[in-house]
Amino acid sequence: MPVSRRTRNASRSSDGTFYIHDEILDGSPVARADAGITVTRVNTPVYTVDRIECEYGIKFNAVIMDIEGGELSFIEENGSFLGGVDLLIVEFHHQVIGDDVTRAADMLRDHGFINIETTGSSEVWTKPSRLGIAAPRLGGPVAIIGDLPAVPVSGAHQAAWDGVDGLYVNWKPRASPGLAQAVELVAAATAGRHRLGIRFEVAVGVSACRVTALVRPKIAALAYLEMRDGSSTKYGIAVYDLRTGSCIRAAGDLLDAGVEAGESGWLEIWCELPCAVPSAAAYVGIVSPAGDLSYRGDGRSGLDFLRFEFDSEAPGANGVG
């Protein structure tokens, strides 16, 4: 690609104002209050991405964006362009755009991106269609129960791991000492189910229980939540599209199922099952792009998992949501 030495703004706006500060790296199309006194303000040529592509006879499919607070405006103005981009590496300047970082991330999800890596303020976003090159293939032995930490008591629910099948389990650094430790679950290159299970006690006299799994898409776009009571007479399963935040399929004895949005891209996928005995088990699993529960994993596709939650005061049947 030819390289131009001229400074340009890529924007659909005609405003080419650019602010220069004492530190050269603080230069921005935004007048940054965090960067000290503005040294000077200049006007630069403004080009649309379409014009740049046309001028050089190229078509961009990747974007590396470090534009000191201009990232929200670029994402807002270039929705159609981002629809054809496969990879976006962006540094979000929280000190400049504040809570609009969340808004920008929501727009990227609307354009079909999923976040596969975050380091500090830099994030990597990609499209499911390009996931074959988005992450390294993992190898080695799959996880076993002994690789998992002890399960803490959850209220009145005594809990223990029930099984782990066809998964690599990678522990992520704690965001802070008081928060739960998230894990990355990756479907190993083995045939079968790819899931993590837990069993727990249900209070006597409770006729139904809700289980929630906190997950976040990371390459894998589809997940499932499976439940059975201790007698195995009651069973149900629900499948969720993590890109759209919706329950797309439910079967068995489930009373209800749904998805609720959490913070920082986490999703609360949940389902309710009647319980004939005071014990139950639940599994969170990864679904193949074709929608299969049992398949050969690729060693790359996975999701982030934070924790299970239980609620014995489940409401009555309201239909599957």
pLDDT at 11 over 60: no
Please report which confidence band the pLDDT of residue 264 belongs to, taking 50, 70 and 90 as the band edges: confident
Closest CA to 210 of 286, 316, 321: 316
pLDDT at 6 over 60: no
Please report which confidence band the pLDDT of residue 124 belongs to, taking 50, 70 and 90 as the band edges: confident
Quick one: pLDDT at residue 251? 96
Please report which confidence band the pLDDT of residue 83 belongs to, taking 50, 70 and 90 as the band edges: confident
Quick one: pLDDT at residue 1? 33
Domain residue ranges of the chain, discontinuous segments joined by +: 9-133, 145-311
Q: List, in order, residues 6 or more apart from 103 with CB less than 8 Å away.
A: 72
Quick one: pLDDT at residue 4? 38
What average pLDDT score do residues 283-301 get?
90
Give CA–CA dist 198/201, Å, rounded. 10
β-pairing, 46-47 vs 9-10, is parallel
pLDDT at 294 over 70: yes
Rg, the chain, Cα only? 23
For the chain, give the percent of residues with pLDDT over 90: 31
Please report which confidence band the pLDDT of residue 190 belongs to, taking 50, 70 and 90 as the band edges: very high
Question: Which is higher by pLDDT, 270 or 33?
Answer: 270
Question: Which is higher by pLDDT, 281 or 32?
Answer: 281
Please report which confidence band the pLDDT of residue 263 belongs to, taking 50, 70 and 90 as the band edges: confident
What rounded mean pLDDT belongs to the chain?
A: 80
Question: Which of the residue ranges 53-57, 133-137, 178-182 would you say has the lowest mean pLDDT?
Answer: 133-137
Give CA–CA dist 21/136, Å, rounded. 40
**Architecture in CATH for domain 145-311:** Sandwich (2.60)
Q: Which residue has the tokens 């629910």?
A: 157
Quick one: pLDDT at residue 107? 85
Please report which confidence band the pLDDT of residue 95 belongs to, taking 50, 70 and 90 as the band edges: low
Helix (H, G, I), strand (E, B) or coil at 165: strand
**Residues 248/240, Cβ–Cβ less than 8 Å:** yes
Token pair, residue 244, equals 């759209």
Question: Which is higher by pLDDT, 41 or 83?
Answer: 83
**Residues 309/154, Cβ–Cβ less than 8 Å:** yes
For the chain, give the percent of residues with pLDDT over 70: 75
Give CA–CA dist 86/38, Å, rounded. 36
Per residue in 140-184, pLDDT (tens digit) is 899 999 888 877 655 567 889 999 999 999 887 665 566 667 889
Give CA–CA dist 79/112, Å, rounded. 11
Please report which confidence band the pLDDT of residue 241 belongs to, taking 50, 70 and 90 as the band edges: very high
pLDDT at 32 over 80: no
pLDDT at 41 over 50: yes
pLDDT at 91 over 70: yes
Quick one: pLDDT at residue 227? 96
Question: Which is higher by pLDDT, 65 or 7?
Answer: 65
Question: Which of the residue ranges 134-143, 164-173, 233-242 would you say has the lowest mean pLDDT?
Answer: 134-143
Helix (H, G, I), strand (E, B) or coil at 69: coil
Give CA–CA dist 49/160, Å, rounded. 54
